[in-house]
């Protein structure tokens, strides 16, 4: 309620009559009036400025600044909030699920959000204004807990804040304001070769004696929040070439039970599975038996490119 003046017009011949209520407000000023404003929306940047990092274990926060303004008589008040959709969970909704989040009075809590319209003792910020005009600024912290694996896209929600006059334990809503939380999430892929070690992207493989045929298994550790595809390219079209130009020895690449054709420029193949946690995927190099092959050294350069499929 934002009523600044009350007029009581009497009809007595003596003129305008004044009620006791009017006389009290004239002496003490208008009743307590509260106004709430939010200075900014929240665009989640994260530790590296790239949005929400699904595989980062680091805690991160963004701030939102709000102001409560007061006029009139002294009064107690409290602040509380709730997500746009209400309910018992605070969720940023996106194209591939949801990110849990919270609005905190300080880093690491307590929360200001409650499914209750007027909040509760644990989700309120209490304050008091003396007589006259005044303002109080609050800095609140938006938290999105780390290591929530969702697909790439934009995740968002609205938070509604409310300020209540606390009149002898009977709260009266005075004003409300909302702000948006937006968190971009990138499609992310992490690949490590178990044979060459973390971070290495080149591996030299000695297949030994090729004549009886050879099978060599290479393991890769994958983690992603999106479907994964590989592009495979053999410099010699799926053939181990002889150092002096003798006939080569064909070989195959088998991934997830699927034999990959290396005769073309690039072969594309999807890798199925849930990669939200680190998952080992085996790549089998199979060399056909070649008892009549010329003696010497055979080689090829096989390039495997991992990428998200969306």
What's the per-residue H, E or C state across the chain?
A: CCCCCCCCCCCCCCCCCCCHHHHHHHHHCCCCEEEEEECCCEECCCCCCCCECCCCCCCCEEEEEEEEEEECCCEEEEEEEEECCCCCCCEEEECCEEEECEEECCCCCCECECCCCCCCCCCCEEEEECCCCEEEEEEEEEECCCCCCCCCEEEEEEEEEEEEEEECCEEEEEEEEEEEEEEEECCCEEEEECCCECCCCCCCCCCCCCCCCEEEEEEEEEEECCCEEEEEEECCCCEEEECCCCCCEEEEEEECCEEECCCCCCEEEEECCCCCCCEEEEEEEEECCCCCCCCCCEECCEEEEEEECC
| 20-185 and 189-308 agree in CATH topology | yes
> Looking at the predicted structure, is the pLDDT value of residue 169 above 90?
no
Dump pLDDT digits (tens) for 185-209.
999 999 998 787 677 788 899 999 9
* CATH code at 189-308: 2.60.40.1090
Question: For position 12, what pLDDT does the model report?
Answer: 30
> Looking at the predicted structure, is the pLDDT value of residue 3 above 70?
no
CATH topology of domain 20-185: Immunoglobulin-like (2.60.40)
What are the distances in angstroms from CA 232 to CA 18, 201, 218, 275?
Answer: 91, 14, 14, 20
- Output phi, psi for 107, to 5 deg: -55, 135
> Looking at the predicted structure, is the pLDDT value of residue 83 above 60?
yes
Q: Which long-range contacts (CB under 8 A, 24 or more apart) does 258-261 make?
A: 260/232
Q: What is the CB neighbour count within 10 angstroms for residue 124? A: 21
Most confident option among 46-50, 163-167, 270-274:
163-167
Specify the residue for token string 């006059």.
165
> Looking at the predicted structure, is the pLDDT value of residue 151 above 70?
yes
Question: For position 16, what pLDDT does the model report?
Answer: 26
Question: For position 98, what pLDDT does the model report?
Answer: 95
Question: For position 257, what pLDDT does the model report?
Answer: 82
Specify the residue for token string 């044979």.
195
> Looking at the predicted structure, is the pLDDT value of residue 21 above 50?
no
Burial of 20 (0-12, 13-18, 19+ CB in 10 A): exposed
pLDDT band at 156 (very low <50, low <70, confident <90, very high): very high
Dump pLDDT digits (tens) for 11-20.
232 222 222 3
pLDDT band at 24 (very low <50, low <70, confident <90, very high): very low
Dump pLDDT digits (tens) for 39-55.
999 999 998 899 999 99
Average pLDDT, integer, range 154-163: 96
Q: Out of 138-152, 157-171, 259-273, 292-306, which region has the weakest mean confidence (pLDDT)?
A: 259-273
CA distance 279 to 277: 6
Question: For position 79, what pLDDT does the model report?
Answer: 97
Instruction: Kindly list the domain boundaries of the chain, sorted by start residue.
Output: 20-185, 189-308
Question: For position 167, what pLDDT does the model report?
Answer: 84
- Contact (CB, 8 A) for 298 and 290: no
Predicted TM-score of the model (pTM)? 0.79
């Amino acid at each position: 309620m934002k009523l600044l003046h009350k007029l009581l017009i009497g009809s007595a011949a003596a003129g305008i009559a004044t009620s006791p209520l009017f006389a009290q407000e004239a002496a003490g000023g208008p009743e307590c009036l509260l106004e709430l404003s939010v200075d900014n929306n929240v665009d989640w940047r994260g530790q590296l400025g790239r949005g929400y990092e699904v595989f980062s274990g680091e805690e991160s926060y963004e701030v939102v600044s709000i102001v409560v303004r007061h006029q009139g008589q002294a009064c107690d008040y409290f602040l509380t909030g709730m997500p746009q959709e209400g309910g018992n969970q605070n969720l940023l909704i996106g194209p591939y699920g949801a990110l849990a989040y919270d609005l905190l009075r300080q880093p690491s809590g307590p929360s200001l959000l409650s499914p209750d319209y007027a909040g509760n003792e644990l989700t309120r910020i209490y304050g008091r204004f003396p007589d006259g005009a005044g303002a109080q600024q609050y800095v609140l912290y938006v938290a999105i807990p780390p290591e929530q694996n969702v697909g790439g896209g934009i995740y968002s929600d609205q938070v509604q804040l409310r300020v209540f006059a606390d009149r002898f334990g009977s709260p009266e809503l005075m004003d409300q304001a909302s702000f948006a939380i937006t968190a971009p999430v990138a499609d992310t892929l992490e690949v490590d070769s178990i044979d060459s070690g973390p971070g290495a992207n080149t591996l030299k493989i000695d297949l030994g004696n090729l004549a009886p045929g050879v099978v060599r298994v290479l393991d890769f550790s994958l983690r992603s929040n999106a479907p994964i595809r590989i592009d495979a390219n053999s410099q010699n079209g799926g053939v181990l070439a002889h150092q002096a130009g003798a006939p080569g020895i064909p070989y195959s690449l088998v991934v997830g039970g699927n034999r990959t054709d290396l005769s073309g420029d690039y072969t594309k193949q999807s890798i199925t599975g849930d990669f939200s946690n680190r998952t080992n995927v085996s790549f089998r190099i199979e060399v056909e038996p070649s008892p009549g092959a010329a003696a010497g050294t055979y080689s090829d350069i096989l390039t495997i490119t991992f990428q998200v499929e969306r």
